[in-house]
Amino acid sequence: MPRTLLPRSSRARLLTLLAVVAVLAAGALVWVDDGEEPPAYATHEATIDVRAAPGSEEREQLDATMYLPEQTPAPAVLLPHGFGGDKNSVSREAEELAERGLVVLTYSARGFGRSTGQIALNDPDYEVADASQLVDYLADQPEVRLDADGDPRVGVTGASYGGGLALLLAGTDPRVDVIAPVMTYNDLGQALLPNSGTTGQVDTATPAPGVFADGGVFRQAWAGSLFSAGLGPARPSGPGAEAPEPGDDPEENEDAGFGAGGAGASVPSGAQRPPEPPQGAGPCGRYTEQVCAAYTDLATDGVAGDETRALLDRVSPASVTSDITVPTLLVQGTADTLFGLAQADANARQISDAGGDVSVIWYTGGHDGGVPGSQLRGTIGDYLEHHLTGEGEDPGAAFAYDVQGALRTNGTPSVRTVEAGTYPGLGSQDTPRREVTLEGGEQVAQRPPGATPAAVSGIPGLNRVLANSSRLSRLFAVDPPGQSATFAGEPVDSQLLITGAPTVTLNVAAAGDSTRGQDAVLYVKLYDVSPDGSRSLPGSAVAPVRVPSLPEDGTPVEVTVTLPGIVRPLESGHSLQLVVATTDQAYATPTEPAAYRVSLPGDSALSVPTVPGTNVTSGWPIGPLLGIGGVLVAALLVAAVAALRRRRSHHLDPELADTPLVIRDLTKSYPGGLTAVRDLSFRVERGQVLGLLGPNGAGKTTTLRMLMGLIQPTEGDITVFGHTISPGAPVLSRIGSFVEGSGFLPHLSGAENLRLYWAATGRPEEQARMAEALEIAGLGDAVHRRVRTYSQGMRQRLAIAQAMLGLPDLLVLDEPTNGLDPPQIHQMREVLRRYAATGRTVLVSSHLLAEVEQTCSHVVVMHRGALVAAGEVGDLVSANGEATFRVDDTEAAVTALREVGGVVTVDTEGDLVHADLDGLSRSEAVAVLVRAGVAVEQAGPRRRLEDAFLQLVGEGEPER
């Protein structure tokens, strides 16, 4: 562990050492307690026959595994998998439920894993009918407890595709006793073609089953990702298709009741693996023709035809939720751009209206945030076990939601759980709400031809990674300039916990003749803006809105928008920013250019829901309690140390508040004994252009990386304007840097590249100071040309302009003259000098010593990670007293200088006189020459910076 993670004081070091000891002790306790005990269940493989289609004599084979607890008969749980997975995808959940004493049946749905058949998207005649036959199968097993003949005591749980199956089965098979669907859907049509805006005041974020709001906006990124998961080779099916192997031990399978015969029984134990299907299975892969046709329909123009709508209605749980009355635990993720909280809300409302007992949990996961962790899986297991066995108390609170806090030092978020007495519903009028005033006036938002470049709100499936990295989240949450309207609120003075779906009313009108009478497609999102201006998009959530047929006369249409449900603590000093964009790369956006006038009605405000509740904690298993307690104590101690470090990083040293850069005792060591930087100290003042010099391996790059907060030092610190540098430190916003390739988009102009880069930082546009940065860089009218036409020198100057955006107080450049010809290098020299002349500071790392000598006012020389010299360039090159004078009378000059005591050698070269002054200053030598009647035209050091550099790093004196 790098030593900078430890505080400097002895007391703090002792506390940290105790924390480490506690962790090791806790680990030892857990290790001792974790014996090599065999699992409390057995597993048996089976291949189960199901009807290929209703009324058909043909069969499909499902590859299944049954988990049997030690004591049977016992209630059963049917556990389907998510889309793209197979029965092995849910083995962990199956093992945990079997440990509780429940029989668990997992299987690969038709078209997945080693099961035969084609994917029909949980069609009632196919996948749902298969699940019902699996319930028949469970009823025939002696290990399964029955409520009546043919009626096993059974619950169903599963995530996403599996959760949809749980709902559909519970709505069609009365033998299901309890369900716990996880991060799943209510209406697949609304999930793939959402429309969050309506005219008037009717909320259609979760409309009635089967309602399509005049063609929602096609969620093409998610749809494409999901569809590709089923494009593998088609599975063999129908007569003559061979079933997958039932297991490694046929006799063991038959002993467990997996013998042949009857509907739903396994195939004979000697069956062989099905042969590999032929290559070139066609564009539909493993899908049915109906599903393939529906996707083709949607992908062609983003609009659902009648047959597609009918299919999506048919496979949606919304078609059967009015028939679900069994206890239901709905677990939905707050980080889910596929199936958001609105889908669970619709399920909850519809099942409650049918008389079902519903509990709802919103957790910090989802398709963009991950499946439930061990604690939540335990809650799901408790719920199933209680309703299947009748033992224990019902663990299902009416409503619970997780609140994600700041990231811990290990990069994982802190989470607390809040419980409420009742589930208020996502858009209930009874939910407490807070009105937030937004400012912005009427704005014009344009959609470019081809809808490119498009706004980026995240990457489906990877948004969790982006959200936990401030740098990545800024890169992948971009609204291109001119393509959006922005409305900002005032900073809040205390934490505002947003729990649910905010709503806002907009006025939308056509801003051009080509837009009149056309549908408006817009994307509304709500950013959390920190005091430094950086933005984050909670849950990467976007509300797509289609406003049909804008009036021909340009009259605005009033649209009520229900934004996606989120759980977000808006901290004190933060503010909300509403953005109405015309493009989004995750959706199918019309490609024709368009322009819209967007404003807020005079009395409109953003309505933000808040659901009060009680913070709760969950009990821990008794066995590892001591070990977990030790880990918690250690974590608290480490957190306290981290808090001390964070407080120190925010602490301002008033004596250094006006000093751009101070490096003190900086050391960076790596495992294996490598020390890249050792005890480095120097200081940089305002107005200086400092050159950082050193041979390869001297530690320059490592020093710059520590300065930018990319890596942490082992010892010592870096202070910028009185604030200690650490990863993510706010003072980093005062540093502009160009340390690697610029990565400009060649088809955009220089100015467009700069605007796009600045938008990615999330800071207000007026803070960019773009005109000033461009004036300093000196690109002139070339900034409006496409970058592909730029010379190397122009690209470098554009990169410098990018680093200068916002006019940072400290500019850090690594090899800014790379690839430039002499005239361009001269121009770059002037750019840096002009920038420093504004009272700011420039730090340049370069290997071109002659250029550093002519550009920089000060220099720091490093060698083998250590400082060997620092100071003004002139002082460094004249450190040994050698000077050169350009005079009108060389003989008189030589005579005058030789008469001065201490001058060692004097010689001439044309009209130049070289002298070793040996301690005599050049100004005193000039005075001697003037008194002798010698006119001095020029005086300076004799050595070049290169000479001084080579001598300092131990290369000896160069030949002259």
Measured in whole angstroms, the distance separating CA 208 from the mean position of its chain's CA atoms is 33
Distance, CA of 916 to CA of 882 (rounded, Å): 4
- Dihedral of the alpha carbons of 303, 304, 305, 309, in degrees to the nearest 10: -170
The predicted model gives 74-87 an average pLDDT of 95
Query: Which tokens belong to 206?
Result: 């979760």
Question: In this model, does residue 454 exceed pLDDT 60?
Answer: yes
| Closest to 865 (Cα-Cα) out of 655, 715, 658, 653 | 715
The amino acid present at 172, given as its one-letter code, is T
Residue 473 confidence class, pLDDT cut points 50, 70, 90:
low
What pLDDT does residue 918 have? 64
Question: In this model, does residue 421 exceed pLDDT 70?
Answer: yes
My answer on whether 169 and 53 are in the same domain is: yes
Query: CB of 525 within 8 A of CB of 538?
Result: no
My answer on whether 90 and 169 are in the same domain is: yes
**CATH at 684:** 3.40.50.300
Q: How far is CA 624 from CA 36, 39, 619, in A?
A: 15, 18, 12
* Domain limit, last residue, from 817, 843, 872: 872
Query: CB of 831 within 8 A of CB of 779?
Result: no
Measured in whole angstroms, the distance separating CA 763 from the mean position of its chain's CA atoms is 18
My answer on whether 891 and 776 are in the same domain is: no
Query: CB of 568 within 8 A of CB of 613?
Result: no
Residue 619 confidence class, pLDDT cut points 50, 70, 90:
very low
| Closest to 47 (Cα-Cα) out of 113, 94, 93, 103 | 113
Question: In this model, does residue 424 exceed pLDDT 80?
Answer: yes
Per-residue pLDDT tens over the stretch 304-328: 999 999 999 999 999 999 999 999 9
**CATH at 920:** 3.30.70.100
My answer on whether 389 and 486 are in the same domain is: no
The predicted model gives 945-951 an average pLDDT of 59
Of 48-57, 254-263, 948-957, the poorest mean pLDDT is in 254-263
Which of 85-99, 203-217, 229-243 has the highest average model confidence (pLDDT)? 85-99
Q: Which residue's structure tokens are 């595709």?
A: 161
What pLDDT does residue 73 have? 95
Residue 747 confidence class, pLDDT cut points 50, 70, 90:
confident
What pLDDT does residue 671 have? 78
Of 107-121, 149-163, 269-283, 728-742, the poorest mean pLDDT is in 269-283
Distance, CA of 197 to CA of 505 (rounded, Å): 9
Strand order in the sheet with 866-872: 735-738, 810-814, 841-845, 689-693, 858-863, 866-872
My answer on whether 601 and 745 are in the same domain is: no
Residue 5 is assigned to a structural domain of this protein: no
Residue 283 is assigned to a structural domain of this protein: no
b (16+ CB within 10 A) / e for 46-80? bbbbbbbeeeeeebbbbbbbbbbbeeeebbbbbbb
* Total structural domains within the chain: 4
Domain that holds residue 515: 433-609
Residue 809 is assigned to a structural domain of this protein: yes
Residue 7 is assigned to a structural domain of this protein: no
Choice between 931 and 597, residue whose per-residue pLDDT is larger: 597
Query: CB of 114 within 8 A of CB of 47?
Result: no
Q: Is the backbone peptide bond immediately before 453 cis, with ω within 30 degrees of 0?
A: yes
Per-residue pLDDT tens over the stretch 844-866: 887 667 777 778 888 888 888 88
Strand order in the sheet with 715-720: 674-684, 661-670, 715-720, 723-724
Residue 462 confidence class, pLDDT cut points 50, 70, 90:
low
Q: Which burial class, exposed, middle or buried, applies to 399 when counting CB atoms under 10 A from its CB (0-12, 13-18, 19+)? A: buried
Distance, CA of 197 to CA of 187 (rounded, Å): 17
| Closest to 589 (Cα-Cα) out of 411, 450, 722, 700 | 450
Measured in whole angstroms, the distance separating CA 915 from the mean position of its chain's CA atoms is 64
Query: CB of 321 within 8 A of CB of 172?
Result: no
Of 600-604, 659-663, 841-845, the poorest mean pLDDT is in 600-604
My answer on whether 868 and 886 are in the same domain is: no
Question: In this model, does residue 486 exceed pLDDT 50?
Answer: yes
Q: Which burial class, exposed, middle or buried, applies to 741 when counting CB atoms under 10 A from its CB (0-12, 13-18, 19+)? A: exposed
Which of 540-544, 672-676, 851-855 has the highest average model confidence (pLDDT)? 540-544
| Closest to 565 (Cα-Cα) out of 401, 320, 351 | 401
Q: How far is CA 585 from CA 485, 590, 618, 813, in A?
A: 17, 11, 40, 33
Q: Which residue's structure tokens are 């014996």?
A: 35
Query: Which tokens belong to 480?
Result: 């291109």
Per-residue pLDDT tens over the stretch 15-62: 445 444 444 444 443 334 444 556 788 999 999 999 999 988 899 999
My answer on whether 801 and 714 are in the same domain is: yes
Query: CB of 574 within 8 A of CB of 491?
Result: yes
What pLDDT does residue 919 have? 62
What pLDDT does residue 232 have? 65
What pLDDT does residue 623 have? 41
Question: In this model, does residue 2 exceed pLDDT 70?
Answer: no
| Closest to 139 (Cα-Cα) out of 147, 131, 127 | 147
**Mean pLDDT for the chain?**
79
Residue 282 is assigned to a structural domain of this protein: no
Question: In this model, does residue 941 exceed pLDDT 70?
Answer: no
My answer on whether 600 and 680 are in the same domain is: no
Which of 35-49, 491-505, 607-621 has the highest average model confidence (pLDDT)? 491-505
Residue 461 confidence class, pLDDT cut points 50, 70, 90:
low
My answer on whether 473 and 596 are in the same domain is: yes
Phi, psi values for residue 192, rounded to 5°? -90, -20
* Domain limit, last residue, from 609, 636, 663: 609
Choice between 154 and 364, residue whose per-residue pLDDT is larger: 154
My answer on whether 675 and 821 are in the same domain is: yes
Other beta carbons within 10 angstroms of residue 126's beta carbon come to 25
Per-residue pLDDT tens over the stretch 772-783: 888 777 788 888
**CATH at 543:** 2.60.120.260
Query: Which tokens belong to 886?
Result: 């350009």
The amino acid present at 714, given as its one-letter code, is T
Question: In this model, does residue 211 exceed pLDDT 60?
Answer: no
**CATH at 89:** 3.40.50.1820
Distance, CA of 160 to CA of 225 (rounded, Å): 14
Of 65-69, 177-181, 189-193, 859-863, the poorest mean pLDDT is in 859-863
Query: CB of 260 within 8 A of CB of 268?
Result: yes
My answer on whether 464 and 527 are in the same domain is: yes
The predicted model gives 585-595 an average pLDDT of 91
Per-residue pLDDT tens over the stretch 575-586: 999 999 999 999
Query: CB of 272 within 8 A of CB of 152?
Result: no
Residue 153 confidence class, pLDDT cut points 50, 70, 90:
very high
User: What is the model's pTM?
Assistant: 0.60
Residue 46 is assigned to a structural domain of this protein: yes
Beta strand 520-529 with 575-581: parallel, antiparallel or unpaired? antiparallel
Question: In this model, does residue 647 exceed pLDDT 60?
Answer: no
What is the per-residue DSSP string for 461-518?
A: TTHHHHHT-HHHHHHTSB--TTSEEEEEEPPPSS-EEEEE--EEEEEEEE-STTTTTS
Residue 219 is assigned to a structural domain of this protein: no
What pLDDT does residue 308 have? 93
Of 242-246, 343-347, 587-591, the poorest mean pLDDT is in 242-246
Q: How far is CA 189 from CA 308, 503, 708, in A?
A: 9, 22, 47
Angle between helical axes of 770-777 and 822-836 (0-180°, round to 10): 140
| Closest to 573 (Cα-Cα) out of 492, 457, 490 | 492
What pLDDT does residue 819 have? 62
% residues pLDDT > 70 (the chain): 77
Angle between helical axes of 625-650 and 10-33 (0-180°, round to 10): 150
Q: Which residue's structure tokens are 């390869």?
A: 696
* Domain limit, last residue, from 395, 420, 445: 420
My answer on whether 673 and 726 are in the same domain is: yes
The shares of helix, strand and coil residues in the chain, as percent rounded to the nearest 5, are: 30, 25, 45
Q: Which residue's structure tokens are 């992948």?
A: 476
What is the per-residue DSSP string for 662-713?
A: EEEEEEEEETTTEEEEEEEEEEE-TT-EEEEE--TTSSHHHHHHHHTTSS--
Question: In this model, does residue 180 exceed pLDDT 80?
Answer: yes
Residue 457 confidence class, pLDDT cut points 50, 70, 90:
confident
Q: How far is CA 13 from CA 10, 18, 83, 644, in A?
A: 5, 9, 50, 12
Task: Using DSSP, state whether 782 is helix, strand or coil.
Answer: helix
Residue 802 is assigned to a structural domain of this protein: yes
Per DSSP, what are the bridge partners of residue 738?
813
Q: Which residue's structure tokens are 């925010």?
A: 650
The predicted model gives 476-505 an average pLDDT of 89
% residues pLDDT > 90 (the chain): 38
